[in-house]
Structure 1
Amino acid sequence: MELAFEQDIKDSFRVSHFTQNERFTSIPERLTYHRILFAAAGSGVIEIDDVRFELTGKTLFLLSKGQLLRFPETTVLTGYELSFGDCFWEKAPGSASNCKAVLFNNAAENQRLDVNEASFTELSFLFQTLHHEFEKKDYVNKIDALAAYLKIMMIKIANINAEAGAGFDNHEKQLYRSFIELVSRKYREMHEVAEYAQALNIPARRLSDICRRCAGKGAKELINGQIVAEAKRSLQFSSQPVKEIAYYLHFSTPEQFSHFFKKNAFMSPQDYRTRFVNFGR
């Protein structure tokens, strides 16, 4: 499969503004940096990994490094695009680390966020201010200032993401965030809800209930989603045999992995890989 790779960005941070910008990319781009796409207005289709989203106005798209981005048909965008690397994020104050973890450690669960009128006005101002600061000539501590703006942006977006879960308390929010962060680090070797529940010192049933209230999905579904996303990336971007991918993801046998993948992706690993090889021809 033919791929384009994101170019290096100075200081691992960039914010761009565009008006009626036309995009069409037949070749998917593999992201090197995390990306926030704030669409104030637009039309067309955006494809992230192998999931297609209709593009409308007042929408946020959150993409993690390693994900695959493509505009399969002519798409028109007005808004902002922000890219940042993990090394740049480390400059942001640590108090926002949970927000970044919830939004980007499992970005597939927060890929698209619709923005209401009040939040749209607030985000438009923040992006405009951040872009203005980014375009200034370099000055002492400019990177620190940009990192501070990014922290504010991340907190605001995390609040938008949390609005759908207004019915659960702050302790449940913290447990959910801890679970998502743990999944992002341990999904290869830990596949069962009980393992995460034990690590968080809560019953497995309660963990699943919290996930359903916070994300609309059970804990097992979230874990499997992370495993499937990594398996798809390996099948698309590497020539590793299915057997090696199975062992890399800590499945006991290739057959067990194939059964798991087919159940969750509705096709075998080999069929999935063949689909993308043929796509690139």
Structure 2
Amino acid sequence: MDTVKNYDKVNGDPVSLEIRIDELITAYEKSQGQPDEPHRHDFYTVLLVEKSQGKHLIDFNEYPFGEKQVFFVAPGQVHQVVDEIPPKGFAVLFSQSFLLRNNISEHFIHDLNLFHDFGYAPPVELSDESMQKICSYGSDMFTIQNNPKTFSSEALGALLKLILIECHQACTLPNDLFLQSENGKSSLIRNFKELIESNYQDWHGVQDYAENLNISTDHLNRVVKAQTGKTAKEHIQSKIVVEAKRLLYFSDMSSKEIGYLLGFSEPANFSAFFKKQTGSSPSNFQPKN
């Protein structure tokens, strides 16, 4: 049984705008400075951090808070915020339906390469100029949210796109990312990741994905490595490791049950895989009662 807390509504109201902008200090004061519990959302989260100290844990990876940072948390990722001082900045939460209503496509979100469903998800580090611009957008969104008028949703959608584009342009991604997307490579990456999400429990080899995509394993590896910096095999293994960690830490399933669920025919094979990837055995990773 999965015991990690899950939030499925941005505002807790199914007829809301499905977007919310909060000042980071609000959550800090509400919790009296105590860390929140590890949890996941069914929506997107963007943290615009002007200044803070502490750490942000995303799928068991720890990132220190500092200044001029933007964190991106995809739906389904487990994260926890630990602030050591009152933070300054904004949290922007938005749902898939908000994106659709504002004609912001899933392809656009994917091609930005800011949200990572699994694996390494460090913050985007910004210059003074970029951070000032993004926080200005965040402040405008906060004002619009609290003083709604005609076309407020459209205004929030436009400002959200500006934040995402500014972050994309500021982060250290390959300069030819969008040029590559024009010749179909970005579409291939998107399809590959969607297949991983659907089949990681059954397909552990690159060949399974290549066959489904009607390409060779060499071609899949070349494109994935060129666009993401990681091999196809590393993407597949990252997804399996993240799901294993979530189940080991947040469920009451045994290591043996988790191994079978993730497609390993023998518990020893799962244990060997997990230890090779993480340096820890499954039993040692599980929290002690």
Aligned to 1:50: 60
Determine which structure has the larger strand proportion and give its number: 1
Deviation at 1:230, TM superposition (A): 1.1
SS for the counterpart of 2:49 is strand
Aligned to 1:30: 39
The TM-score with structure 1 as length reference comes to 0.80
Q: Distance in 1 between matches of 2:256 and 2:206?
A: 25
SS for the counterpart of 1:106 is coil
* Two-structure CA RMSD over aligned residues (Å): 3.1
Alignment partner of 1:246 out of 259, 263, 278? 259
- Residue range with higher mean Cα deviation, 260-269 or 108-117: 108-117
> Which amino acid letter does the alignment assign opposite residue 108 of structure 2?
C
Q: Distance in 1 between matches of 2:240 and 2:34?
A: 27
Q: Distance in 2 between matches of 1:176 and 1:266?
A: 29
Deviation at 1:225, TM superposition (A): 0.8
Structure 1 unmatched runs, 5+: none
Q: Number of residue pairs matched?
A: 273
Alignment partner of 1:128 out of 139, 145, 151? 139
- Residue range with higher mean Cα deviation, 225-234 or 112-121: 112-121
Aligned to 1:272: 285
Matches within 5 A, 1:111-190: 111-137=122-148, 142-161=152-171, 163-167=172-176, 169-170=179-180, 171=183, 172-190=185-203
4+ runs deviating over 6 angstroms = none
Equivalent pair of 1:63/1:107 in contact (CA under 8 Å): no
Aligned to 1:74: 84
Equivalent pair of 1:105/1:180 in contact (CA under 8 Å): no
Structure 2 unmatched runs, 5+: none
Deviation at 1:24, TM superposition (A): 4.2
The TM-score with structure 2 as length reference comes to 0.78
Deviations 1:52-89 (A, max 9, x none): 21111111111123333334461442111011233433
Aligned to 1:106: 117
Equivalent pair of 1:6/1:29 in contact (CA under 8 Å): no
Aligned to 1:59: 69
Q: Distance in 2 between matches of 1:92 and 1:254?
A: 47
SS for the counterpart of 1:164 is coil
SS for the counterpart of 1:178 is helix
Q: Distance in 2 between matches of 1:8 and 1:258?
A: 36
SS for the counterpart of 1:188 is coil
Matched, 1:195 2:196: no
Calculate percent identity across the aligned residue pairs.
25
Determine which structure has the larger helix proportion and give its number: 1
Matched, 1:211 2:221: no
